[in-house]
Amino acid sequence: MSLALSFSHLGPTGAPAPTAIERWPSYDQRHPWLPRRRGWLSEPVFIQKAATPRSNRWRCEVNYRPVNFQQKFGLFSEQWMPKVVAEMNDYQFKVARLQGDFIWHDHKDTDETFIVLEGSLRIDFRDGAVHVSAGEMFVVRKGVEHKPYAEHEVKLLLIEPRGVLNTGQEGGEREAANDVWI
Ligand code: NI
């Protein structure tokens, strides 16, 4: 009993507990006419679980469901707007629908991986082009200028470090919001 009181400010693992939002009245408040007996009486503490940041709780939860690409593509229809579906270390996996011409750009600090899931993608380079079909992938090297093109809509998976913009450093109206999860 006294141990429970002594360590009441600690969580079950010994880590500091989340902010307490409500305490029962203290022993002195409940029994003001009795001698102080603090030190052995357990005083329950209500813990506000929501005090834990939502993002932290989310990260602590174990999710055993696979990411289903077909299901993810069913959630959006806009083109050239990559959506994050998973992360691995500092890398993000993004699904995207592309159709038509993009702009010339490069990524100064990182390679960029294109995995085509449906349709056919052409990536133009200043000195050539590569055609990537469903079931194929291609890695564009760091600093190499490229311009994706798809005659018909193509569905693909991009793999790149967190924070990489779709337009590289070019900016402009084709720049998509970053870190948008779906
Ligand atoms: Ni790129």
133 C-alpha vs ligand 1 centroid, how far in Å?
17
Residue-level pLDDT at 44: 44
Residue-level pLDDT at 91: 96
In degrees, rounded to 5, the angle at the alpha carbon of residue 46 between the alpha carbons of residues 40 and 51 is 135
User: Residues of CATH 2.60.120.10 domain(s) within the chain?
Assistant: 69-161
Residue-level pLDDT at 112: 97
Other Cβ atoms within 10 Å of 39 Cβ, number? 9
129 C-alpha vs ligand 1 centroid, how far in Å?
14
Residue pointed to by tokens 């699904």 = 95
Is domain 69-161 annotated with CATH 1.10.10.10? no
Residue-level pLDDT at 157: 98
What single DSSP character describes residue 110? -
Per-residue pLDDT of the chain (182 residues; tens, 9 = 90+): 444 444 445 545 555 554 444 455 555 566 555 555 444 444 444 444 444 444 444 555 677 899 999 999 999 999 999 999 999 999 999 999 999 999 999 999 999 999 999 999 999 999 999 999 999 999 999 999 999 999 999 999 999 999 888 888 788 888 898 899 99
CA–CA distance, 135 with 132 (Å, rounded to integer): 8
Using left for φ > 0, alpha for ψ between -120 and 50, and beta otherwise, residue 156 falls in beta
55 C-alpha vs ligand 1 centroid, how far in Å?
29
Token readout for 120 is 């056919």
165 C-alpha vs ligand 1 centroid, how far in Å?
8
CA–CA distance, 170 with 103 (Å, rounded to integer): 9
160 C-alpha vs ligand 1 centroid, how far in Å?
9
